[in-house]
Amino acid sequence: MVDLSWLIMVIEIENLSFSFLGAKKPALKNINLRIKRGEFVAILGPNGCGKTTLALCMTGIIPHFFRGKLEGRVLINGKDTRENEIHDIISDVGILMQDYESQLFFPRVDDEIRFQIENFGISSKKMEEISKEMKLSPLLKRNPLELSEGEKQRVIIASILVTDPDILILDEPTSQLDSEEREHLLGILRHLNAHGKTIILITHNTHFARYCSRFLVIRDGRIVEDTRDRGFLEKAHISDLGIEPINYNWGNHKISTSNDLQITIRDLSYKVERPVLKKISADIGNGEFILILGKNGSGKTTLVKHLNKLLKVQKGRIIINGKGIEDYSQREIAKLIGFIFQNPEHQIFRNSVEDEIRFTLDSLGLNEDNLNKTLELFNLKEYRDRSPHAFSTGEKQRIALASVLVSEPDIIILDEPMTYLDFEAKKHLIEYLRAIKESGKTIIVISHYPDYYKSLTDRRFIIADGKISEE
């Protein structure tokens, strides 16, 4: 008998519009979408365009959890999300959220999976089957929060697969992953897709979405493109839609060398339970652009945290502008070195955007000349009185950048600054980094995406197993 299951529509969305309670404009406008079983769909679009809101509608979280005005209907395997409870919908659709750590509750991997088994009253034999399929067997007794980012995601995907849902949605799954982990996740998704699962991938990372069979682009809450053209991501015109084309040329660069030494690191070692850095030595010249590469957990962030005294030197020496780092006060070092953390959530702690930026000026004893200029530069002027916590993660990243760069430090350290940014914001950041590099500032960037910085990088350092090498 001919298998016609691929003809079945697993998701049917008709005239869907949604406005969050109190919002001035709708997050989704008249969405019509039908997705067949076994499709591998990429949902693309700039920050704040409505991608995550659409995913929440597909899982029933909207309208059951968020209040607002919902028009139209969403059917998951024929079940109307408005008429069915979330528990009934999620046996058909699972989601890996952008902040996936919040999906972990227990201090052991097997307990995480068992929790799902108990919640749905499924046979405990499923545990062995799933952990084998997701290659989690050696990790079952580990604490999920101590695993690598890729492993954490695998634990959540394993929990989701307990109920054998037809649809798996992943919201920005690559944001915290290094290149090896990204390819591993992609392998898992392709395997699940080959076994009939419908995969919906929400991402800014077009390279990761290259194997998708269908591409949807959302802008301002509307679907503006829906295509099954496999070559779609390579087309240059998609940049007009706010999407980064694969192989986009981020510019070419002639390496500039500097004889004027600014940072000297000698035999730097650091240990917490196990050695993280092992006798690292490096020199960085004035005005250089240094890119630091390495796997998650290799010690990249630990190294740069030493440069602005967030970590105390245990062994070795660091000299900046001819002076030992121990001779700088915290305020002096913060004036000299601006540090942008990987996760903007960890950098935002004031009650308004303006106050967030002003905090740096106040603590460094600087006047407010740069305040308005910075608000304008980062397109934040009209939001100056709003709470920084009310923005999307990509927008928070912009606020975090503004709050550090307002003091115009001589050395700027950025830890994975592109993580949450969309194509336009990435282009802006590269242009901004180019401008400050041309003004003679030293820039150190940690990244898993070297291609973005091709046009700027003077030298690449690679950290592996706590040791440094230069490429």
Partner 1 sequence: MKNIFEYREGRGIFYSMDPLIKVFLMIAFWILTLYSELSFLVLLSVIIFIIVMYSGLTERFLRQTRFFFLFVFPFIVIFQVFFHWSFAGENPSLFFFNPRVSIDGLVIGIKIALRLFCLLSSSLIFIMTTSPLRLMQRISKFRIPASVTFLLIFINRSVALIFNDLERILEAQKARGFSIQDVGIRRRILGYIALLIPLLTISLERAQKQAIALELRGFGSKKGRYKN
Report the distance separating Cα 60 and Cα 82, nearest Å.
Answer: 7
295 binds partner 1 (CB under 8 A): no
On whether the CB atoms of residues 215 and 227 are closer than 8 A, the answer is: yes
Report the distance separating Cα 180 and Cα 46, nearest Å.
Answer: 25
The tokens describing 297, both together, are 């957990």
The residues with which 148 forms a beta bridge, in sequence order, are none
310 binds partner 1 (CB under 8 A): yes
137 binds partner 1 (CB under 8 A): no
Closer residue to partner 1 in complex, CB, 165/466: 165
Q: How far is CA 451 from the centre of its chain?
A: 16
Closer residue to partner 1 in complex, CB, 314/469: 314
On whether the CB atoms of residues 457 and 289 are closer than 8 A, the answer is: yes
Report the distance separating Cα 412 and Cα 183, nearest Å.
Answer: 30
Give the CA dihedral 176, 98, 241, 197, nearest 10 degrees.
Answer: 100
Closer residue to partner 1 in complex, CB, 45/165: 165
Report the distance separating Cα 205 and Cα 153, nearest Å.
Answer: 17
Alpha-helix residue ranges (DSSP H) falling in 348-457: 353-364, 369-377, 393-405, 423-438
146 binds partner 1 (CB under 8 A): yes
159 binds partner 1 (CB under 8 A): yes
The window from 21-29, 203-211, 376-384, 399-407 that contacts partner 1 (CB under 8 A) reads 399-407
Lookup result for tokens 């003077």: 458
Closer residue to partner 1 in complex, CB, 342/457: 342
Lookup result for tokens 């430090």: 409
Which residue among 111, 220, 234, 410 contacts partner 1 (CB under 8 A)? 111
254 binds partner 1 (CB under 8 A): no
Between CA 171 and CA 177, with CA 173 as vertex, the angle to 5 degrees is 160
Binding residues for partner 1, total number by CB under 8 A: 58
The tokens describing 225, both together, are 């493109």
11 binds partner 1 (CB under 8 A): no
As measured in angstroms, the least distance from the Cβ of 432 to partner 1 is: 19
What's the DSSP call for residue 146?
A: G
Which residue among 105, 194, 275, 470 contacts partner 1 (CB under 8 A)? 105
As measured in angstroms, the least distance from the Cβ of 179 to partner 1 is: 26
What's the DSSP call for residue 401?
A: H
The 3-state DSSP class for residue 280 equals strand
Which residues 71-90 are close enough to bind partner 1 by CB under 8 A? 86-87, 90
As measured in angstroms, the least distance from the Cβ of 352 to partner 1 is: 11
349 binds partner 1 (CB under 8 A): yes
Closer residue to partner 1 in complex, CB, 225/345: 345
Binding flags for partner 1, 318-347, as an x/- string (CB under 8 A): ------------xx--xx---x-x---xxx
As measured in angstroms, the least distance from the Cβ of 7 to partner 1 is: 28
302 binds partner 1 (CB under 8 A): no
116 binds partner 1 (CB under 8 A): yes
Closest CA to 289 of 389, 167, 411: 411
Closer residue to partner 1 in complex, CB, 76/209: 76
Which residue among 52, 131, 301, 360 contacts partner 1 (CB under 8 A)? 360
Non-local CB neighbours of 298 within 8 Å, separated by 6+ positions = 463, 464, 465, 466
As measured in angstroms, the least distance from the Cβ of 121 to partner 1 is: 4
46 binds partner 1 (CB under 8 A): no
351 binds partner 1 (CB under 8 A): yes
Report the distance separating Cα 199 and Cα 190, nearest Å.
Answer: 9
Non-local CB neighbours of 250 within 8 Å, separated by 6+ positions = 430, 451, 452, 453, 454, 455
On whether the CB atoms of residues 446 and 416 are closer than 8 A, the answer is: yes
Which residue among 17, 30, 387, 392 contacts partner 1 (CB under 8 A)? 387
The count of residues in the chain is: 471
444 binds partner 1 (CB under 8 A): no
Residue type, 110: D
As measured in angstroms, the least distance from the Cβ of 326 to partner 1 is: 15
Which residue among 17, 84, 163, 264 contacts partner 1 (CB under 8 A)? 163
Residues lying near partner 1 in the complex (CB under 8 A) are found at 59, 61, 64-65, 86-87, 90-91, 94-95, 97, 99, 102-103, 105-108, 111, 114-116, 118-121, 141-143, 145-146, 159, 163, 308-310, 330-331, 334-335, 339, 341, 345-351, 359-360, 363-364, 387, 389, 403-404, 407
